[in-house]
Amino acid sequence: MTDAARINVVELTVSELSNALKRAIEDGFGYVRVRGEISGFKGAAPSGHCYFRLKDDKAVLDAVIWKGSIARMRVKPQEGLEVVVTGKITTFAGSSKYQIVIETLEPAGVGALMALLEERKKKLAAEGLFEQERKKPLPFLPEVIGVITSPTGAVIRDILHRLADRFPREVLVWPVKVQGEGSAEQVAAAIKGFNAFPLGKIPRPDVIIVARGGGSLEDLWSFNEEIVVRAAAASTIPLISAVGHETDVTLIDFASDRRAPTPTAAAEIAVPVRADLMMQVSALNNRQVSCWQRGIEHRRRELRSLARALPNKEDLFALARQRLDAVTERLPHALRVTTARRRDRVVGLAARLGASLRANTQAHRTKIVHDRHRLAVLHERGKIAFENLLDRRDARLERAGQLLAAFSYRGVLARGFALLRDSEGQPLRSAAAISPGQKLDIELTDGRVGALAEGSRPIELMAPVIRRRRRTISDPGQGSLF
């Protein structure tokens, strides 16, 4: 191109050129179907979108799945999974690159599905969902059986007919989709629903059967979903998986407590045959009686055999006696050796003890002399202190005696007064408390006399006597005890 031609080329901004390329690519390709291997997948971004690359042995294509599209996908993207995707080619101007916006994603054939299934199986097994210790025993004869399956298929009819033939039980059917979009969520919800049954009018199942007829790997894929496997592993009710035919294997088979090759076989596993049980009980009864008789006879023969097989008492003690003789022969020599060793040790200890005693004897003598002198000093001091304490106690006791004598009512009796008591020994303080004929006890300074009350005089006649009595008291500060 000449310089003049280059000058006449229309000038575009970067955004205008990017938009033009975007329109050209989207108009030229539109919807495409691409097969490749997922690479660089690290899970959903914080926005919920997924970014990764599709590659083959020669090229790489950036890919994105919007948040709304990935929620509807039955198979989620995984690192290394070969898939076939459908979407449209577009550009991302921020990085000057093109990419495919994926709307549908499917594994590329049965091989990819099997690889995805194997990888998912390893992941769930690593979490311990398939451990044998987690599996619960099935009830021998359940009262209620919960069945999760399609209500319109032949599976439910086969299960009901088989239960009726073997041992009729009450059956609760939870209808679900067993294939297609949303079927996995319905199956998981049914398992959780049966486990959430409260105690009420609707009985809670004793065992659950998850059943579906045969089909291709794609048809049975719902029972390989993590949501179904985790619900089966978390079920507190024992669960039997009966998905497909005997050759069909799904992940729910590993998480369930028991796998049945067919739905009909699941019904056979769930309940025993009633007629067989009756025959078995009768046979067991006969066997019990026979076993008891044979056991008695066997023990009788065994007791006889043991009695004959018992060894002679001399043979039982022969070996022990031989060991005792051998020990007896070695004992004198061992005693001499041990005695010599102990003697040498005692001599050594005696020498060490003598030196130690001589060194400590003088120190103890000095200490004893010092302690004896100190004890004599303390004895003299204690003797003086004890005598002083006795003098103080005697003086205190004498003062207390004088004070007691001064406050005692016997001092009042010595001055000519008397203490009047009733027959129970209670003091009488007024004439009103004395009734005619009452026995009285009069205490004087030199003893007691008994008296009998005749009557009381009016208080007017007694008042002058009381006043004269008060005038005879030598000490004006001394009050009357009555």
DSSP string, 37-89: EEES---B-TTS-EEEEEE-SS-EEEEEE-HHHHTT-SS---TT-EEEEEEEE
pLDDT of residue 471: 44
What's the distance, Cα to Cα, between the start and end of the chain in Å?
153
Question: Is 27 domain-assigned?
Answer: yes
Residue range of the domain that includes 299: 274-305
Residue 152 shares a structural domain with residue 248:
yes
pLDDT of residue 478: 52
98 sits in which H/E element: strand 97-107
Question: What gap in Å lies between CA 98 and CA 91, rounded to an integer?
Answer: 4
Q: Which residues contact 319 (CB under 8 A, 6 or more apart)?
A: none
Q: At residue 305, does pLDDT exceed 60?
A: yes
Question: What gap in Å lies between CA 189 and CA 449, rounded to an integer?
Answer: 110
Q: At residue 216, does pLDDT exceed 70?
A: yes
Per-position b or e across 4-18, b if 16+ CB within 10 A of its CB = eeeeeeeeeeeeeeb
Kindly list the distances between the CA atom of residue 162 and the CA atoms of 25, 169, 257, 420, in Å, as whole numbers in the listed order. 62, 11, 21, 115
Check residues 325 and 16 and name the one with the higher pLDDT: 325
Residue 268 shares a structural domain with residue 279:
no
Do residues 119 and 76 make contact, with C-beta atoms less than 8 angstroms apart? no
Beta-strand pair 50-55/60-65: antiparallel
The residue out of 251, 272, 293 marking a domain boundary is 272
Question: Is 169 domain-assigned?
Answer: yes
We report the CATH number of the domain holding residue 167 as 3.40.50.9100
Show the tokens assigned to 334. 């061992």
Show the tokens assigned to 328. 């007896």
**Sheet with 170-175, edge to edge strand ranges:** 170-175, 144-149, 207-212, 239-243, 258-259
Kindly list the distances between the CA atom of residue 11 and the CA atoms of 6, 8, 20, 21, in Å, as whole numbers in the listed order. 10, 9, 13, 15
Question: Is 69 domain-assigned?
Answer: yes
The string of pLDDT tens digits covering residues 56-105 is 888 888 899 988 887 777 777 878 778 888 888 888 777 778 888 898 88
Angle at the Cα of 479 from the Cα atoms of 473 and 482, rounded to 5 degrees: 105
Residue 103 shares a structural domain with residue 165:
no
Residue 204 shares a structural domain with residue 185:
yes
Region 233-239 average pLDDT: 94
427 DSSP assignment: B
Name the band, by pLDDT with cuts 50, 70 and 90, for residue 265.
Answer: very high
Secondary structure (DSSP) of 434-452: --TT-EEEEEETTEEEEEE
Of 248, 165, 162, 273, the C-alpha closest to 209 is 162
We report the CATH number of the domain holding residue 75 as 2.40.50.140
Question: Is 333 domain-assigned?
Answer: no
Kindly list the distances between the CA atom of residue 360 and the CA atoms of 24, 367, 368, 453, in Å, as whole numbers in the listed order. 116, 11, 12, 91
How many structural domains are present in the chain?
A: 4
pTM: 0.46
pLDDT of residue 459: 52
Question: Is 386 domain-assigned?
Answer: no
Question: Is 100 domain-assigned?
Answer: yes
Question: Is 197 domain-assigned?
Answer: yes
Residue 186 shares a structural domain with residue 232:
yes
Show the tokens assigned to 53. 């690359």
The string of pLDDT tens digits covering residues 318-340 is 888 888 888 888 888 889 899 99
Name the band, by pLDDT with cuts 50, 70 and 90, for residue 117.
Answer: confident
Residue 166 shares a structural domain with residue 238:
yes
The residue out of 257, 284, 305 marking a domain boundary is 305
Show the tokens assigned to 370. 């010092």
Residue 87 shares a structural domain with residue 31:
yes
Give φ, ψ of 368 to 5 degrees.
-65, -40
Residue 103 shares a structural domain with residue 20:
yes
The string of pLDDT tens digits covering residues 21-67 is 777 776 777 788 888 888 888 888 888 889 999 988 888 888 999 88
Beta-strand pair 207-212/144-149: parallel
Residue 92 shares a structural domain with residue 57:
yes
125 sits in which H/E element: helix 109-126
Question: What gap in Å lies between CA 290 and CA 295, rounded to an integer?
Answer: 8
Question: Is 22 domain-assigned?
Answer: yes
Show the tokens assigned to 403. 């004070």
Region 354-358 average pLDDT: 82
The string of pLDDT tens digits covering residues 422-465 is 888 888 888 777 888 888 888 888 888 888 888 666 555 444 44
Residue 296 shares a structural domain with residue 229:
no
Per-position b or e across 370-400, b if 16+ CB within 10 A of its CB = eeeeeeeeeeeeeeeeeeeeeeeeeeeeeee
Residue 288 shares a structural domain with residue 261:
no
pLDDT of residue 467: 44
Question: What gap in Å lies between CA 356 and CA 348, rounded to an integer?
Answer: 12
Q: On the CB side of 413, how many CA atoms lie within 13 Å of its CA?
A: 14
Name the band, by pLDDT with cuts 50, 70 and 90, for residue 5.
Answer: low
Residue 264 shares a structural domain with residue 284:
no
Question: What gap in Å lies between CA 417 and CA 482, rounded to an integer?
Answer: 10
